[in-house]
Structure 1
Amino acid sequence: MYQPVTMELTTRGRPLRIHLISTGVVSVKRRYREARGRGLRAFLDFVFDNRFTGWLPIWVMAIEHPDGVFLIDTGEVASVMDPRYFQSSGWIVRWFDRSQFKFDVRREDEIDAQLGALGIPTSQVKTVVLTHLHFDHTDGLKHFPATRVILNDLEWKKPHGTLKHLWPPDFHPVPVPLDCPYEMFERTYALTGEEDLLLVHTPGHTWGHASVLVKTDAGPVLFAGDICYSQDQLIREKYTGANASYRQAHDTYERIKAFARHENLIVLPSHDPEAAERLKSWTPLYNLPPEDLAGRED
């Protein structure tokens, strides 16, 4: 339903290729996608909502970088269509995930098949980077049993809403400290030697949620995970129905928008139907005129 998009770019004059890939689609309660309140009110509002969104993508990003292939999140798998999929997590979780979400994921939608179609065997993926530990971002880990997996150490220490029973039995990620400031972001971690690929702490959805900032010569790209369901929510300051901290979600919004006001930033949330088109047409959050970008520091 959502076709992959590939962009040929450069970073510091070196070739870089970005692939945005949807591993099937998901439909969520409308009030889960965009809340009318916060906390318990928001939770009850979406639980009792009987209206679902249309089909939304489950984006992951593959980056062919001079330092190797990086995969940001691993997406969903066809097994999620099995009514027994959540059984090991208990009846409450099974009821919740079956009643609040709908999936349409085929075997050919899984990340290994899609990477193969792009000419990237899973064995060529140097590093898997997780934005957070929710199952629609981690279920594809089964295709990378020997690959190094990185995530924010806070996400590992203080998970929120994770289903550990669905993790591969040999799941041993490398938690990394995000302790280096960059621009408006207080906590980042450099994934590459040139520091042109950063893991950026963007909390709110979970305590340790992180996004990936790709610095290209054409401008920066932020694979934003689940900070919001669409870029429009970021602009209008609307929030999803399930956040670990609305205060931190608001702070994340403000930092991203502040950064975008002096950089032509492309923002790509994980479930935004318009993300691929924005990447393909290279449409930043704010279309800044050249004079606003002149003299900026890299």
Structure 2
Amino acid sequence: MIKVTAIETGKARMKTAQRTGRDERGPVGRKIDIFRDPNWVDPLPILCFLIEHPEGRFLVDTGDTWRNSVPGYLPGWNPFYRQVSIRVAPEEEIGPRLRDMGIDPARDLSAVVLTHFHHDHTGGLDHFPHTRIIGPRENYAVSTGIRGMMMGCLPQRWPVWLDPELVVPDGPAIGPFPGSWPLTNDGRISLVPTPGHVAGHCSVVVQGDDVAYFIAGDATYLQDNLHAERTDGVTNDPATARATLRAIKTFATQQPTLILPAHDPDCAVRLATKAVFA
């Protein structure tokens, strides 16, 4: 039996222009829109997903950290960080959340899987010093150094021991996705390429007993945006981001599928009621 659980690790606020970009705007125009936008969305969850599988427990993304509140933790020279607001209490980090579930984050997971390396997906890495860390090679390549710092990553804050297993989803096609990278021997958990939000972004497909779970990371912020094929304001490649949304929709119409983005406040309800994409 396979079980998927959403775990909230604090809240994020963003501009409306970040959550949903204007269709006619290119990558630069979308960034300008975010800076000019006076409107903020209501606080959104920062979600990780625990997959319990006969071969072990797998965590997708690690959420963010309370250290966002410490002056100097976020680079002051990058004005992007003033366009988002992260609120995480120490006990809301992924480590305490897992311990509340009776899971030792340092010892009880088979792997941590990162959809991409943005700070609100890697902020909890410190809790997993003895765990296999897996991430997409293409995204890692644009997430390090100054380039990464400019693109919403904090490589200077990653644990000194971090040496992720970088993978390329060049295995068998899954539905409309041209490749995959299996996480389990039975192939029921796989990474698939979902670029657009950032280069090299991946999502995790879980083939459950009666439904599929599509753990989307930031491929879309909301299921409603997926329905409407509305891309976000962060993307530097709106055409690729839109093609990814269409691929996810195709996958979700080929079999009953729960769509689980990392910042969608309805994920927990969809999981509880098994409300599949329609």
TM-score range, shorter chain: over 0.9
* Alignment counterpart, residue 181 of structure 2, candidates 181, 189, 192: 189
* Secondary structure at 2:254 match in 1: coil
The answer for the alignment partner of 1:9 in structure 2 is none
The equivalent residue for 1:295 is none
More strand, by proportion: 1
Q: The residue matched to 2:190 in structure 1 has which SS?
A: strand
Match of 2:109? Answer: 125
State the alpha-carbon separation in 1 of the partners of residues 27 and 93 from structure 2: 33
Tell me the distance in 2 between the aligned counterparts of 1:185 and 1:275: 23
Q: Aligned-pair RMSD on alpha carbons?
A: 1.2
Question: What is the aligned partner in structure 1 of residue 9 from structure 2?
Answer: 23
Q: TM-score, normalised by structure 2?
A: 0.93
Partner of 1:175: 166
- Which amino acid is the alignment partner of residue 247 of structure 1? A
In structure 1, what is the equivalent of residue 123 of structure 2? 139
Distance 2:142 2:179 in 1: 16
Cα drift, residue 167 of structure 1? 1.0
Runs of 5+ consecutive residues of structure 1 not aligned to the other structure: 1-14, 287-298
- In the other structure, the counterpart of 1:32 is 18
SS at match of 2:178: strand
TM-score norm. by structure 1 comes to: 0.87
1:79 to 58, 61, 67: 67
Query: Aligned partners of 1:48, 1:195: CA distance in 2, in Å?
Result: 45
| Structure 1 residue 16 displacement after superposition | 2.1
Aligned equivalent of 1:250: 242
Q: Per-residue deviation at 1:82?
A: 1.6
User: Is it true that 1:65 corresponds to 2:49 in the alignment?
Assistant: no
- Aligned partners of 2:200 and 2:113: how far apart in 1? 13
Q: 1:227 aligns with which of 208, 219, 230?
A: 219
Deviation at 1:74, TM superposition (A): 0.4
CA shift digits 1:217-254 (9 cap, x unpaired): 11100110001110000111111111131111111111
Q: Is the 8 A contact 1:26 1:101 kept in 2?
A: yes
The unaligned stretches of length 5 or more in structure 2 are none
2:84 aligns with: 101
* Structure 2 match to 1:290: none
C-alpha distance in structure 1 between counterparts of 2:141 and 2:86, whole Å:
29
Q: CA deviation at 1:182?
A: 1.6
Aligned to 1:92: 77
Give the aligned length.
267
- Aligned equivalents of 1:276 and 1:42: distance in 2? 30
Q: Give me the identity figure in percent.
A: 35
Displaced runs of 4 or more, over 4 A = none
1:206–1:244 contact (8 Å) kept in structure 2: yes
Secondary structure of the residue that 1:252 maps to in structure 2? helix
The residue that corresponds to 2:142 in the other structure is 158
- The residue identity in structure 2 corresponding to 1:119 is G
